Amino acid sequence: MSDNNHTNDNAPFQPAAKPRRFIAGAVCPRCAAMDRIVVNADGESRECIDCGFSDARPTAGPEAVPTRVTRPAARRVETAAEPVRLLDPNNPKG
Ligand SMILES: [Zn+2]
């Protein structure tokens, strides 16, 4: 038991240490390259991997757009009342 849990915290180089996420359909405002914009894990900064453009605030994607469709009245569905017919297996007509 002489070997402690060895961790490489002081690695000389960290390849792709920052977890990044691509933004689908995002266009770089500088080089106009599509699908080259990545966002860091915090989502507070974006970066273009093509030209090196970086911005502090990423643009609001389609998933961040507030919608006004959440009206409670819109969720009410008028359901037509129908008389339920029960099939009688003992029906002599069958
Ligand atoms: Zn770019």
Length of the chain: 94
Residue 1 lies in a domain: no
Question: Do 30 and 53 contact (CB within 8 A), yes or no?
Answer: yes
> Does residue 92 form part of some domain?
no
The pair of three-digit structure tokens given for residue 26, joined into one six-digit string: 């995002």
pLDDT digits (tens, 9 = 90+) for 62-90: 555 555 655 565 566 677 788 888 888 78
Q: Is residue 23 part of a domain?
A: yes
52 Cα to the center of ligand 1, angstroms: 6
Ligand 1 centroid – CA 11 distance (Å)? 30
**Residue 21 Cα to ligand 1 middle (Å):** 15
Q: Quick check: pTM over 0.95?
A: no
Q: Is residue 22 part of a domain?
A: yes
Concatenate the DSSP letters of all residues of 54-92 into one string.
Answer: EESSPPP-GGG---S---TGGG---PPP-PPPPP-TT-T
pLDDT of residue 43: 82
Provide the pLDDT for residue 73: 57
Q: How many angstroms is it from 35 CA to the middle of ligand 1?
A: 10
Summarize pLDDT for 3-55 with one digit per residue, the tens.
556 555 665 665 556 678 899 999 999 999 999 999 988 888 889 999 999 98
Is 11 contained in some domain?
A: no
Q: What's the 27 CA to ligand 1 centre distance in angstroms?
A: 8
**Where in the sequence is the domain holding 39, given as residue range(s)?**
17-56
Residue 71 lies in a domain: no
pLDDT of residue 25: 94
**Residue 83 domain flag:** no
Whether the pLDDT of residue 56 is over 60: the answer is: yes
5 domain residue, yes or no:
no
Cα of 63 vs centre of ligand 1, distance in Å, is 22
Q: Tell me, in angstroms, the distance from the centre of ligand 1 to residue 28's CA.
A: 5
The domain total for the chain is 1
